[in-house]
Amino acid sequence: MSDTRITYGDANKRWAAARDDLATNLTTIVQAYKKEIEAQQVKAAELQSQAAAQRAQAANQKRQAVAQEEAQQEAQREQRTQMMLNYLRANRVQLAPQPNLQIRRPVTSICVINGNQANCTTN
């Protein structure tokens, strides 16, 4: 057997070298981890941006569909109105005049009760 003895100075040097190696390796691992986190954050931001763009596009398509539907309904109303006017002109149908409603004044009644009798006057 060989007799290997290490002095305190050599042990301290070995501990310092091991600590430095460990610190270097740990620093490398931490930097790689930070890069991975940054890459994930960038990816998440891109996905959020894509989702927002898709929502905006869907909302825009919905607005366009609603506007198109409203325009189509308005065109149908105009077409029906024109068809009715053409029918009335072709058949020379005259619309009946609106009845002349007379406005009546309100009736006011004043009643006085004396015992079993009621005397009323109307204006």
User: What six digits make up the tokens of 87?
Assistant: 């029918």
DSSP secondary structure string, 62-121?
HHHHHHHHHHHHHHHHHHHHHHHHHHHHHHT--PPPPP-PPPPPPP-EEEEEETTEEEEE
**pLDDT of res. 5:** 83
Cβ(80)–Cβ(95) below 8 Å: no
pTM of the full predicted structure?
0.44
- Percentage of the chain with pLDDT > 90? 59
Q: In the predicted model, is pLDDT for residue 93 greater than 60? A: no
**pLDDT of res. 2:** 55
**pLDDT of res. 94:** 64
32-69 confidence digits (pLDDT tens) = 999 999 999 999 999 999 999 999 999 999 999 999 99
